[in-house]
Structure 1
Amino acid sequence: MKKTTSVFYFSIAIAALFIFWGMIPANKLPDYNLGAVSTAVHSFLIDKFGWFYLLAATTFLVFCLFLIFSKYGNIRLGRDDEKPEYSNLTWFAMLFSAGMGIGLVFWGVAEPISHYYEPPAGEGGTPEAARTAMRYAFFHWGLHPWAIYGVVALALAYFQFRKKEPGVISRALRPIFGDKTNGAVGVVIDTLSVYATTFGVATSLGLGAIQIGGGLSHLFPSITNNFTTQLMIIIIVTFLFMLSAQTGLNKGIKILSDMNIILAVLLMFFLLFAGPTNFIMDVFTTTIGSYLQNLPSMSFQLAPFEQSDWPKSWTIFYWAWWIAWAPFVGTFIARISKGRTIREFMIGVLAVPTVFSALWFSIFGGSALYLEQFRHIEIMDVMNEKGMETALFFMLYQFPLGAILSGLAILLICTFFVTSADSATFVLSMQTTNGRLNPPNSVKFIWGIVQAAAAVILLWTGGLEALQTASIIAAFPFAIIMILIVISLIRSFQKEPIAKKRI
């Protein structure tokens, strides 16, 4: 373990502390268990600083759009003559699989249906509520989250491949803090990044196990979606992603990412043509226009006069969640983006996943809304009775070859599950070995065990939601770090000889 840094040991200690805290039953410490404390802190931040999350996320999007059209877009993430390491298709597949894959599968049906019955304004269950539901699904999974990821990824790729700094968050702030990033300031920043990544991914592992269990239970009624089933799923998936992690970036993650895209496209087009095709494409076309038209107003919507909690429960929660995930996804995207220009990088990171997400929600969310509105099949009742994880499978069974579609969906969730965990193991190892591009297998093995153990223990104790809330708390200080990253990038870009030559 000579190649690890102090960040590794601090992070392991913090992970252990929070896991053991999460194991304490709520009745033992009613006011001081992890769930109670994290919920109280999170509620305080959302209530008092919701506006800050909203302004920060929109600022990051404006900054990314500015870079596309500015002279700085010509700067290459590497040497001036360096070429991209991966093809465009493989690059898109890898960044998308790490960024949102399993979340899209989970929320593709559940979120539009939730918004349809409980819209941000107006009466639920109406055509207007359906239009609003689709628009906000596009909004929550579109340009804003990928701008958040893009800022962190750009900073890491730029300073690592062009400035030859170690690939850790703290070194992206060297133009501001100077050599202090080599000391305690750097350790604090990097430990915070690892903290957010560890618990964010552990939560996703748990949620992924719950949804796979829900799908298997729906497909095979004899299987019960309980802790034993979820434990077996995590054990199998952990074995698979640990095996993949040992093969390195160019084998395991690359192959799985390509497989993810193939399975996702197959499932999408299968449902597109098995379902109400014209309706789905009409929804996609209409909602794209509505999303772009209403993007400025939605980006600043907080409903102070209505005293509605809807923006806090959905938009602000999502923005905090994406910011908490930014160290993980940003580090991974940076690692696979060497050799691209800033303009190429930003267009790819913003446009491709946004369009894919929009098409995904149009097909899955649109099909669900079609069933609700025109065939009077109430998916919301199923969600309330059996959980949100069953919404996708119940919806798929309403169309031809529903069992095959459900099986394909379970396989897709599994591959997304393995890819996300594999990517996270790789990223955590990078972050705790001073940004090594090929971290040791021993470090990847340790982080894989930590993630799996955290997910299992917290599923068992019911502390998964508490851990999710605890990880989102990291979004507040990290949002401030991201603002400093933007300032640091601008300062560094202004000194670029390439930018000056091309004014």
Structure 2
Amino acid sequence: MSSASPTKTNEQVRLNPTVFFGSTALILVLTAALILFPDSAGAALARTQAWLSHSFGWYYMLAIGSYLFFVVWIAFSRFGTLKLGADHDKPDFSYGAWAGMLFSSGIGISLLYFAASEPLDHLYNPPEGTPGTAQAARQALQLTFLHWGVHGWAIYALVGLAVGYFAYRHRQPLALRSALYPILGERWVKGAAGHAVDIFGIFVTLLGLVTNLGIGALQVSSGLEYLTGMEHSKTTLLIVLLVMSLVATLAAVSGIEKGIRRLSNLNIILFSSLLVFVLACGSTLELLNGFVQNLGDYLNGLVLKTFDLYVYTGGGAAKSEEWLGLWTLFYWAWWISWAPFVGMFVARISRGRTVRELVCGVMLIPLGFTLAWLSVFGNSALDLVMNHGAADIGKAALEQPSMSIYLLLEHYPLAKIVIGVSIFVGFVLFLTPADSGSVMLANLSRQGGDLDEDAPNWLRILWSVIVTLVTIGLLFAGNFTAMQTVVVLAGLPFSAVLILFMFGLYKAMSADYERLYGHARPVARPAELNAVG
């Protein structure tokens, strides 16, 4: 039978020196290089990005496709009814509360940044085909859906499943290394291999948080520039970035979890209201038609686009390869960089859920809203640019993407008020993951304590400072392109860890299932498992 639920250890929380100093050394060396040698570092990153896209594009595509296939298969296989916990454990949260937290975990400030800018960028710079045409516009939404669709949520589901299954069913630490026990054994997992996994987990998570902070600062500063007429400069961006970091740090250590939770709930309401506002005040029928069309194009091309490396684009192969590195490969690495943080959060709220419930919940609950948001804002932006002469929105999408959504909202009633609300929405969208992310980084770099006990405040503050320093270094080294490149590079080694997670999960679940039912398929199974074949 499965293991009982984890019990209290009464062991004092303390710093894990190997993981902490190993990860901070890796991070600070990178930051120092970017701050001290911004031009040469930016050029080196650009060359590395081109090399990686050329050499490892095929690997990323196969890896992402494998993650998606694995989690869907395991959810609907005989293992789908195994629980994250003992067989008799009940979920810690109701379906409503659990679904709400899954929704919040998947909605971030990047949806404001890319809602209008990404489809317009694909319109003007498609990986194949003629720019600016109706076909390019249709392809733009298909590609945007691909980047924000089921592949990314499958990565979150995989990490959440791996961490939660071994923590709650096998009483291992709530850490990334725990999923490697079936493969490497206790000696290696508690030693060098386990330390390496947690170090890389911290590194890629920090870069994901850096990207979040960078996008947040760009988004909020652009909104303030629009409303107040402030000059767009690095000084303004730095001031906004430091203020946002300070507020996030205070939130992480102040113990006002209930306040942050209320802000998050308010933000979901405002975020949804913004979507309804644009849908109602725009060409509602055309937007609804467009959403259905976009969804059909996405589902129809799901397999093709999963493995599309644009090999057969003729003379434009080099351009397509560059586009792939800047967009699709960046997104896959970005999802991977967020996976340790979001996956551990998913694990912590999913004790008592079955494997099938976790996978279906993570992959489906936030997805519908995300695709609806991208379709409504993307099609609205494309319509204004292509049919109503709003060239300024298209120019902003290419030169200052964070400004494009404000220029879009300018064409709607009560524009100033709506833009002010969207700036507030963006700030809170940034604040919640920044707060939780600092806590997660601190938790991964400590040892001891109970399963649900968080790291001390000083460690959270230290990680908040490190995130801020790295963000400044990357922004001033080459703006967003530098961040994109480092995320892609950091995601490469951790993508191999996710492959090991799949083997570890399969091995452990096979053994657990055999212990429960033996070699023969049972005629009747325990009621709490509700198994299917």
What range describes the TM-score normalised by the shorter chain of this pair? over 0.9
Structure 1 residue runs of 4 or more that deviate by more than 6 Å after TM superposition:
none
Counterpart in the other structure of 1:40: 47
The question of 1:299 aligning with 2:306 is answered yes
Counterpart in the other structure of 2:178: 171
Counterpart in the other structure of 1:4: 15
Counterpart in the other structure of 1:452: 468
Give 1:153-192 correspondences, 5 Å limit. Answer: 153-179=160-186, 180-192=188-200
Shift of residue 473, structure 1, vs aligned partner: 0.9
Shift of residue 89, structure 1, vs aligned partner: 4.5
Equivalent of 1:402 in 415, 427, 435:
415
Shift of residue 2, structure 1, vs aligned partner: 6.0
User: 1 CA distance for matches of 2:338 and 2:216?
Assistant: 16
Q: 1:396 to 1:318 in 2, by over 3 A?
A: same
User: 2 CA distance for matches of 1:269 and 1:463?
Assistant: 33
Report sequence identity in percent. Answer: 35
Deviates more, 1:160-169 or 1:383-392: 383-392
User: 2 CA distance for matches of 1:379 and 1:278?
Assistant: 25
Give the secondary structure class of the aligned counterpart of 1:376. coil
Q: 1:296-338: per-residue Cα shift (whole Å, max 9, x none)?
A: 1111111112123233332222112222222222222222222
Q: 1:249 to 1:172 in 2, by over 3 A?
A: farther
Shift of residue 102, structure 1, vs aligned partner: 1.1
User: 2 CA distance for matches of 1:267 and 1:434?
Assistant: 43
The question of 1:480 aligning with 2:480 is answered no
Shift of residue 456, structure 1, vs aligned partner: 3.2
Shift of residue 488, structure 1, vs aligned partner: 0.5
Shift of residue 462, structure 1, vs aligned partner: 4.5
Give the conservation status (yes or no) of the 8 Å contact 1:22–1:463. Answer: no
Q: 1:406 to 1:452 in 2, by over 3 A?
A: same
Shift of residue 371, structure 1, vs aligned partner: 1.0
Q: 1:499 to 1:368 in 2, by over 3 A?
A: farther
Shift of residue 25, structure 1, vs aligned partner: 3.0
Deviates more, 1:389-398 or 1:307-316: 307-316
Tell which structure's C-alpha radius of gyration is larger: 2
Give 1:140-289 correspondences, 5 Å limit. Answer: 140-179=147-186, 180-221=188-229, 223-247=230-254, 251-289=258-296
User: 2 CA distance for matches of 1:253 and 1:339?
Assistant: 25
Q: 1:26 to 1:426 in 2, by over 3 A?
A: closer
Equivalent of 2:32 in 20, 31, 42:
20
Q: 1:173-205: per-residue Cα shift (whole Å, max 9, x none)?
A: 110000210001111111011111112212321
The question of 1:107 aligning with 2:120 is answered no
User: 1 CA distance for matches of 2:19 and 2:259?
Assistant: 26
User: 1 CA distance for matches of 2:375 and 2:480?
Assistant: 30
The question of 1:135 aligning with 2:142 is answered yes
Question: Which residue identity lines up with residue 368 of structure 2 in the other structure?
Answer: V
Give the conservation status (yes or no) of the 8 Å contact 1:90–1:258. Answer: no
Shift of residue 238, structure 1, vs aligned partner: 2.3
Give the conservation status (yes or no) of the 8 Å contact 1:113–1:369. Answer: yes
Shift of residue 239, structure 1, vs aligned partner: 3.0
Shift of residue 53, structure 1, vs aligned partner: 0.4
The question of 1:314 aligning with 2:327 is answered yes
User: 2 CA distance for matches of 1:301 and 1:499?
Assistant: 42
RMSD: 2.2
Shift of residue 249, structure 1, vs aligned partner: 8.8
Q: 1:466-491: per-residue Cα shift (whole Å, max 9, x none)?
A: 34422321211111111110011000
Q: 1:233 to 1:337 in 2, by over 3 A?
A: farther
Give the conservation status (yes or no) of the 8 Å contact 1:167–1:430. Answer: no
Give the secondary structure class of the aligned counterpart of 1:105. helix
Consecutive unaligned residues of structure 2, counting only runs of 5 or more, are 1-11, 518-524, 526-530
Shift of residue 12, structure 1, vs aligned partner: 2.0
Shift of residue 376, structure 1, vs aligned partner: 2.4
Counterpart in the other structure of 1:432: 445
Question: Which residue identity lines up with residue 391 of structure 1 in the other structure?
Answer: S
Equivalent of 1:391 in 386, 394, 404:
404
Give the secondary structure class of the aligned counterpart of 1:474. helix
Deviates more, 1:50-59 or 1:227-236: 227-236
Q: How many residue pairs are counted as aligned between the two chains?
A: 497
Deviates more, 1:4-13 or 1:490-499: 490-499
Consecutive unaligned residues of structure 1, counting only runs of 5 or more, are none
Q: 1:342 to 1:256 in 2, by over 3 A?
A: farther
Q: 1:212 to 1:93 in 2, by over 3 A?
A: farther
The question of 1:441 aligning with 2:457 is answered yes
